[in-house]
């Protein structure tokens, strides 16, 4: 993009998001809860609640485009009054949601949608399947990513090809500078939301400060471990159950890693009837659940948590990359930070890749 970068002051940020709310369903991160038990979550923008941009969001922004639960079809049975045993079935696809704008999404979360896209746009299945629900929401959503000004011990985006100021998947990249944020348009849609009179042209000093912030955050990351051998290493480790039993020993199969992950896309579909009416729902599911692979026959090929962890790690770093040339992990580190028993995917992948670099110790 050759469009000029803009500047929004902290004092005017809320007013700008309120202004954008006339055109978009605006979402932004905010803090909910109290003290250490609270969390930073993505919610519809509320000027009275403000936004939280100093703390790392506890959850990913995945649900802003791929909801935790969504109606796929509403159905209604209309009985024939002269023959109550007969009923016509009417199906209705829910209306497309209004245009949406997500402000303050992490760069790793924005990259995550590039991993979801091939699953739902048909490119990952040679055009055989397209998900209209995901695609229409994706096409009508503007993502304003906020470059990370600080990194955490669990961050490892540099392992998977990312950087703290990555613009991949974003429409605008916002960077914190003195007294506000530098807004750099990445796409045409991004340039289109920077037309407010509340925004001022960014000057050279702001550009330089932003570049310095990007470089400082990248330098603060721990050196990346070479996991180029992970794809083949995980295949070699496939039948090594001693390895997987050891790596999964602390796992509780709670599924926190999958529900917080910006790139997991497993779901279940159920019909929920209510009298003659009903709805077909798609809900997130987790491959770490013992019931995820339970078959109608009663057979379950993944009753063992070691096998389930092998599938999760193998999918992200071996199976998916073979199909789509992308690692299905963006290194956000949420699965590490929020794991109640200290399972560290970095250690598993590094060990599977058989690198010489030191892997993180077992928690």
**In the listed set 154, 187, 221, which residue is the last one of a domain according to the structure?**
221
Range(s) of the domain holding residue 16: 1-66+98-221
3 state DSSP class of 241: helix
Residue 13 contacts residue 21 (beta carbons within 8 Å): no
**237 with 248: CB under 8 angstroms?**
no
Whether 179 and 268 map to the same domain: the answer is: no
Express each pLDDT in 125-171 by its tens digit. Answer: 666 789 999 999 999 999 999 999 999 999 999 999 999 999 999 99
> Which pTM does this prediction carry?
0.91
CA 225 to chain centre: 23
Q: Is the pLDDT of residue 221 over 50?
A: yes
pLDDT in tens, 283-292: 999 999 999 9
Contact indicator for 10, 26 with CB cutoff of 8 Å: no
Domain presence at residue 77: no
CA nearest neighbour of 341 among 278, 254, 221: 254
Shared-domain flag, residues 155 and 287: no
Q: How many domains does one find in the chain?
A: 2
- Do residues 103 and 239 both lie within one domain? no
Tell whether 210 and 302 lie within a shared domain.
no
Residues 3 and 135 in one domain: yes
Do 239 and 248 contact (CB within 8 A), yes or no? no
Confidence of residue 191 (pLDDT cuts 50, 70, 90): very high
Distance from C-alpha of 61 to C-alpha of 112, rounded to nearest angstrom: 9
273/321 same-domain check: yes
Q: Are residues 251 and 132 in the same domain?
A: no
Q: What is the mean pLDDT of the chain?
A: 92
Is 4 contained in some domain?
A: yes
What the block records as the tokens of 352 is: 């599977």
Q: Is the dihedral of CA 227, 286, 67, 181 positive or negative?
A: negative
Domain end residue (candidates: 191, 221, 251): 221
């Amino acid at each position: 993009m050759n469009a000029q970068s803009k500047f929004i002051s902290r004092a005017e940020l809320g007013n700008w998001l309120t202004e954008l709310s006339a055109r978009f369903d605006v979402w932004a991160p905010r803090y909910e809860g109290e003290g250490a038990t609270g969390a930073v979550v993505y919610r519809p923008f509320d000027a009275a609640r403000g936004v939280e941009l100093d703390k790392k969001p506890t959850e990913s922004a995945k649900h802003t485009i791929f909801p935790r639960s969504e109606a796929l079809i509403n159905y209604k049975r209309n009985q024939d009054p002269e023959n109550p045993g007969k009923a016509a079935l009417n199906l209705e696809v829910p209306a497309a949601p209004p245009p949406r704008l997500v402000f303050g999404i992490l760069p790793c979360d924005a990259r995550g949608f590039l991993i979801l896209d091939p699953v739902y746009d048909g490119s990952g299945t040679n055009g055989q399947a397209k998900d209209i629900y995901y695609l229409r929401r994706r096409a009508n959503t503007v993502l304003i990513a906020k470059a990370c000004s600080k990194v955490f011990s669990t961050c490892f985006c540099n392992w998977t090809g990312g950087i703290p100021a990555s613009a991949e998947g974003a429409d605008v990249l916002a960077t914190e500078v003195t007294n506000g944020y530098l807004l750099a348009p990445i796409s045409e849609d991004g340039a289109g939301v920077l037309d407010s009179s509340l925004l001022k042209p960014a000057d050279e000093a702001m550009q330089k400060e932003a570049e310095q912030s990007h470089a400082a955050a990248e330098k603060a990351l721990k050196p990346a471990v070479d996991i180029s051998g992970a794809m083949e290493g995980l295949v070699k480790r496939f039948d090594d159950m001693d390895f997987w039993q050891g790596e999964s020993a602390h796992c509780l199969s709670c599924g926190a890693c999958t529900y917080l992950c910006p790139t997991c896309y497993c779901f279940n579909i159920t019909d929920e009837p209510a009298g003659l009416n009903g709805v077909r729902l798609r809900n997130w599911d987790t491959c770490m659940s013992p019931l995820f692979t339970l078959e109608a026959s009663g057979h379950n090929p993944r009753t063992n948590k070691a096998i389930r962890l092998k599938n999760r790690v193998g999918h992200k770093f071996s199976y998916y990359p073979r199909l789509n040339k992308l690692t299905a992990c963006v290194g956000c580190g949420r699965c590490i930070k929020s794991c109640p028993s200290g399972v560290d995917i970095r250690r598993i992948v590094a060990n599977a890749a058989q690198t010489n670099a030191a892997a993180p110790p077992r928690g």
